[in-house]
Amino acid sequence: MSFKVVVDYDLCESNAICMQIAPEVFEVRDDDFLYVLADEPEETQREKVEEAVQRCPKQAIAIAEA
């Protein structure tokens, strides 16, 4: 089963907590914006993405089942 990473950029503060948890999926660049490197990550990344969702202080990240 695949899943998709959804980010509400209006809520996102680009604090990079998600990047610390799942750097293969999230990146905050020098322009201070969050980039999703893999919007449909491998199933093996699900646990890390779920942790990023839970730990996002603004709850700007969600998972959508594909």
Q: Is residue 26 exposed (0-12), middle (13-18) or buried (19+ Cβ within 10 Å)?
A: buried
Q: How far is CA 62 from the centre of its chain?
A: 8
Looking at the chain, the whole-number percentage of residues with pLDDT higher than 70 is 100
Using a cut of 0.85, tell me whether the model's pTM lies above it.
yes
Q: How many domains is the chain built from?
A: 1
pLDDT tens across 41-61, in order? 999 999 999 999 999 999 999
- Domain containing 12 — which CATH number? 3.30.70.20
Q: Is 13 a residue whose pLDDT tops 90? A: yes
Domain range spanning residue 39? 3-65
